[in-house]
């Protein structure tokens, strides 16, 4: 296990060093987060007070949790596919495929830094959100950490499957963004699901992000109700257990296909 952690850490270090060599993007990202929070702070003043959403402060707290988790969702679903595509185009995929490491480790390596960065961004979002009104929260740490961890696992599974499409077809780099946007829309990241028509709520019930968001809010925000947290976490965890091996299998088959067609080294 130590060896696997070493490999994942080495990939994370590599991606951090590459990201740090373009360090201006860190500052731009922080400014972007501030703007996004400011927009929702003002929007909350417009729509607060209704039966569905509560007071302006309640809506702002609701949406801050949504922003943080969708940030993690975007990172975890897109990282493996983006790095697979980058390695294809830059010419490093073939030599990585020749390394004596399991496919799951390669996929985790591709995802490690982007997910860590998204979690740090989430913390930064909290820090920026507090003076803007993200107050009176009552974190329940065990379910909160469990929600985040299980959510990351489910999102990674989606990301690994997207990477399989990229490796097999040499395209599909935009697929994770499309999936993340769809899940964000359907899962009540920025508005409560109660505004959906009944048929759309049924579809929302199929999204693991719906349960992840509900569990995270229940373990963070006052008045969200913590009764269903275990149920929601069980669904998120069950999805992870089901989807992770499937997605690794997809990536394994995609790499085998690339070895057969000779496309590991071409783009």
Partner 1 sequence: MFLRARSAPRTARSASFQGLRATSLTRSFGGRTVLDGLELACPAGQLSVVLGENGAGKTTLLRIFATVLYPDRGTATVDGFDVVRDGAQVRARVGVALVNERSLFWRLSGRDNLRLFAATSGVPGRLRDSHLAEVIGELDLGDIADQRVANLSAGQRQRLILARAAVARPPVLLLDEPLRGLDQKGIDRVLEFLAAQSQRGTTVLVVAPLVQELSEVADHLWELHEGRLRDISATAPRALAR
Question: What tokens does 172 get?
Answer: 């599909």
The b/e string for 63-100 (b: 16+ C-beta within 10 A; e otherwise) is bbbbbbbbbbbbbbbbbbbbbbbbbbeeeebeebbeee
CB of 240 to partner 1, least distance (A): 14
DSSP 186-255: HTTSSS-GGGS-HHHHHHHTT-HHHHHHHHHHHTTSTTS-STTHHHHHHHHHHHHHHHHHHHHHHHHHHH
**Nearer CB in complex with partner 1: 151/252:** 252
Contact 184, 73 (CB under 8 A): yes
Given 49, 50, 55, 99, the residue binding partner 1 (CB under 8 A): 99
Out of 39, 52, 242, 259, the only residue in the binding site for partner 1 (CB under 8 A) is 259
**Does the protein bind partner 1 through residue 162 (CB under 8 A)?**
no
- Spatial separation of the C-alpha atoms in residues 209 and 71, rounded to whole Å: 12
13, 49, 171, 226: residue in contact with partner 1 (rule CB under 8 A): 13
Give which of 121, 133, 123 is closest to 59, Cα–Cα. Answer: 133
Q: Does residue 38 come out as left (phi exceeding 0), alpha (psi in the -120 to 50 range) or beta? A: alpha
Q: Is the Cβ of residue 104 or residue 128 nearer to partner 1 in the bound state?
A: 104
For partner 1 (CB under 8 A), the number of binding residues is: 38
Q: Examine residue 253 and tell whether it contacts partner 1 (CB under 8 A).
A: no
The yes or no reply on residue 23 touching partner 1 (CB under 8 A) is: no
Site for partner 1 contains 50 (CB under 8 A): no
264 touching partner 1, by CB under 8 A: yes
Among the listed residues 49, 50, 102, 192, the single contact to partner 1 using CB under 8 A: 102
In order of 32, 62, 181, 244, the CA distances from 17 in angstroms are 22, 34, 28, 28
Site for partner 1 contains 18 (CB under 8 A): yes
Positive or negative, the CA dihedral 18, 21, 24, 30 is: positive
Instruction: Out of 31, 46, 98, 227, name the contact with partner 1 by CB under 8 A.
Output: 98
Positions in 74-93 near partner 1 (CB under 8 A): 90-92
The answer to whether residue 142 forms part of the interface with partner 1 (CB under 8 A) is no
Of positions 30, 43, 105, 177, contacts partner 1 by CB under 8 A: 105
Q: Give the x-and-dash track for 219-248 against partner 1 (CB under 8 A).
A: --------------------------x--x
User: Of the ranges 48-56, 161-169, 209-217, 259-267, which one interacts with partner 1 (CB under 8 A)?
Assistant: 259-267
Token pair recorded at residue 60: 């702002």
Q: Classify 83 as helix, strand or coil.
A: helix
Judged by the rule CB under 8 A, the positions of this chain that interact with partner 1 are: 2-4, 6-7, 9-11, 13-14, 17-18, 21, 90-92, 94-105, 109, 245, 248, 252, 256, 259-260, 262, 264-265
């Amino acid at each position: 296990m130590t060896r696997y952690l070493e490999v994942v850490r080495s990939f994370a270090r590599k991606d951090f060093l590459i990201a740090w060599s373009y360090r201006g993007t860190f500052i731009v990202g922080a400014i972007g987060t501030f703007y996004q929070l400011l927009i929702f702070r003002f929007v909350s003043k417009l729509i607060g007070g209704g039966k569905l959403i509560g007071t302006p402060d309640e809506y702002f707290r609701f949406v801050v949790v949504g922003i943080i988790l969708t940030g993690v969702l975007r990172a975890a679903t897109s990282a493996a596919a983006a790095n697979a595509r980058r390695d294809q185009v830059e010419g490093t995929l073939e030599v990585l495929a020749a390394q004596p490491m399991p496919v799951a480790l390669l996929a985790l390596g591709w995802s490690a830094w982007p997910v860590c960065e998204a979690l740090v961004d989430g913390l930064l979002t909290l820090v920026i959100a507090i003076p803007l009104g993200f107050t009176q929260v009552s974190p329940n740490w065990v379910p909160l950490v469990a929600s985040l961890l299980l959510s990351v696992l489910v999102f990674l599974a989606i990301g690994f499957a997207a990477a399989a499409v990229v490796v097999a077809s040499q395209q599909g780099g935009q697929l994770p963004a499309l999936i993340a946007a769809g899940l964000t829309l359907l899962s009540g990241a920025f508005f409560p699901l109660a505004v959906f028509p009944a048929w759309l709520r049924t579809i929302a019930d199929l999204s693991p992000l719906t349960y992840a968001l509900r569990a995270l809010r229940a373990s963070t925000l006052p008045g969200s109700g913590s009764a269903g947290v275990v149920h929601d976490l069980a669904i998120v965890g069950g999805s992870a257990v089901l989807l992770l091996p499937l997605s690794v299998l997809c990536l394994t088959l995609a790499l085998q296909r690339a070895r057969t067609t000779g496309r590991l080294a071409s783009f």
